[in-house]
Structure 1
Amino acid sequence: MKPLAPQPPKSDPRWSGHTDGAIYECYDPLVAAVGGIPITYRWAATPPAGPAAPPDPRVLAQSAIAQMRLKAVSIGIVPEPVAGRIGIIGMPTWMWVQDPGPSTLGPITRTASAGGFSVTAVAKADRIVWQMGDGSVVTCRGAGTPYADSFGRQPSPDCGHTYTRQGAYTVRATSHWTVDWSGMGLSGTIPLNFTQTTTITMGEAQVLSQ
């Protein structure tokens, strides 16, 4: 907003009968962006305050992400990570997500708004990277398949590993997310990741049978 220069004569209808103050030119960039008439005129007794600056769309995107309450997956794995459970080396290890849902795998959409502006973010876990503790890394594109006793010695169809040495192994499951956001004429991508850990024990069949 700025004072119109030169000021129109007092007979101009924009004064609306006032003889004090001034006529101000007001430019609205949002109206201009949609092809409207962006300039209007108004009388004011004192210089009016300009419009508040629009919010940063990236900040709104972060607010939308905070609403999602994203978190690390709960690890499902065989052998089970409980005392007294020991897996056999050379036998398939199965890994899966115990709690698949919007907050652990997506997709999930949230919108944040401020000052009349809005930004929408869409989040989805692209992959889960399993660090098996023996130097091996397994990348799985989905939640994996929960193990059932009926599967016997079959390997997992989509997310598994085989250990070759006995010992205790710390397994880390890291979910890698892509968050795409758009709003206020802008867009962007924010990568995120969350990690959960557990420990399993592997042993040799002859040791277990003794």
Structure 2
Amino acid sequence: MLTVVRRLVVALAVAALCVTAPATGASADPECHVNPLTGTCVIEVTDPGDPGDPDDPGDPGGGGGGGPRVCEDWDGPIDCESELGTWDNDRSCYLEVADPQPPKSDPAWEGNSDGEIYRCMIPNPASPGSWWTTYVWLGEPPEAGPDPAVLAQQAVAQMTLRAGEIGMNPSGEPEAISIVGVPTWLWVADPDEHTVGPITRSVTAGGTTVTATGTLDEIVWDMGEGHEVTCDGPGTPWSEGRSDDEATCSYSYARSSARQPDLEYTVTATSSWTIAWEGGGENGTIPLSFTRSAQVQVGEIQAITIG
């Protein structure tokens, strides 16, 4: 059967910048393309579709319109890919290339000299979790099911992760004035599953389900005067009556911003995430980072002694 790929473009609302790092595991990390005008992060992932049977006028398909390949055994839907191989609906078994290949004299070759011998794992309906094993000849590889790594990227796109709004200063307004030597509280002002997690999304196609969970690892605050603060959570919002000892993320400036452009420091908060996914017999992790910036003025209180 022929296979076509159509593009699924999903926009993630990000205030300033989305950065991807190399993925680990079986997946390739989704690429985040940032629109410099809107700050929108666009992730492109492939969506395997079924073009239909070109020899069957009643099955036009086209452009993925037929949907992804569906795999079924006698009990219903089954994963198209697993650690046992690729499911074959006609043979009702998981196929995997036999290693080593038997000699050409083996009856499994059926007199053929091309192609390969595949191990055929047939589920035993009388004993769930057990399998019958036989060997078959195939002239060409079986049709593959949906790529779990692609489904993982689709799950990431559905999370609509974004950089959180910056909460800063006791007033909560980044534009307010901080004071030299006085702790400036730092926090995410709009905490929800999209900005601080955790968040879980699942995608199912062709009988394969991939589940991805995003977790916020840390937020690195670049305070604009050459120092950074690393916090392992979204921080604690300031409120009236709270002691500075209750701040879970804060920074004390050593000098005022009087000599800075526009009399302000630029504060940048970078949120680092890990997306862990599994399904279809595979698993992996995808690291992502989101960044937002704000300006802050820092003043200095001077004491005057009158004799």
Q: Match for 1:81: what amino acid?
A: P
Q: Which residue of 2 aligns with 1:10?
A: none
Query: Aligned match of 1:92 in 175, 180, 183?
Result: 183
CA distance in 2, matches of 1:156, 1:199: 24
SS of 1:151's partner is: coil
The one-character-per-residue Cα deviations of 1:57-116 (angstroms, maximum 9, x if unpaired) are: 11110001111111111110006323xx32211111100111111111111111112111
User: Match for residue 130 of structure 1?
Assistant: 221
Unaligned segments of structure 1, at least 5 residues: 1-24, 42-48
Supply the AA of the counterpart residue of 2:182: M
Separation (CA, whole Å) in 2 of partners of 1:155 and 1:205: 21
Which of 194, 199, 208 is the matching residue for 2:290? 194
Work out which of the residue numbers 267, 274, 282 in structure 2 matches 1:178: 274
TM-score by length of 2: 0.51
- Alignment pair present for 1:58 and 2:149: yes
1:144 to 225, 230, 235: 235
Structure 1 position 198, deviation (Å):
0.4
2:174 is aligned with 1:81? yes
Rounded Cα–Cα distance in structure 2 between residues aligned with 1:195 and 1:54:
36
Corresponding residue for residue 193 of structure 2: 102
Contact preservation (8 Å) 1:91, 1:163 = yes
Q: Which residue, out of 36, 39, 53, partners 2:131?
A: 36
Q: Distance in 2 between matches of 1:39 and 1:28?
A: 9
Report the CA distance between 1:178 and its aligned residue. 0.6
Alignment gaps of 5+ in structure 2: 1-89, 96-119, 124-128, 258-263
Distance 1:81 1:157 in 2: 16
Q: Work out whether residues 28 and 38 of structure 1, in 8 Å CA contact, stay in contact via their aligned partners in 2.
A: no
SS in 2 for 1:187: strand
TM-score of the pair, normalised by structure 1:
0.73
> Helix, strand or coil: the match of 2:218?
strand
CA-based RMSD of the aligned residues comes to: 2.7
For residues 67 and 35 of structure 1, what CA distance do their matches in structure 2 show?
36
Task: Report how many aligned residue pairs link the two structures.
Answer: 173
Cα distance in 2 for residues equivalent to 1:62 and 1:73? 22
Contact 2:166 2:174 in 1 (8 A): no
**Distance of aligned partners of 1:39 and 1:67 in 2 relative to their CA distance in 1, 3 Å threshold:** farther
In structure 2, the partner of 1:26 is 91
> CA separation of 1:100/1:74 partners in 2, compared to 1, >3 Å: closer, same or farther?
same
Q: Which runs of 4+ in 1 moved over 4 A?
A: 38-41
More helix by share: 1
Change (3 A) 1:118 1:61: same
What is the letter of the counterpart of residue 58 of structure 1?
Answer: A
Q: Deviation string for 1:34-55 (max 9, x for gaps)?
A: 54346699xxxxxxx9864211
Residues 132 and 192 of structure 1: CA distance in aligned 2, closer, same or farther (over 3 Å):
same
Q: Determine the C-alpha separation between the residues in 2 that align with 1:158 and 1:128.
A: 12
Query: Is 1:204 matched up with 2:204?
Result: no
- Percent of counterpart pairs with the same letter? 47
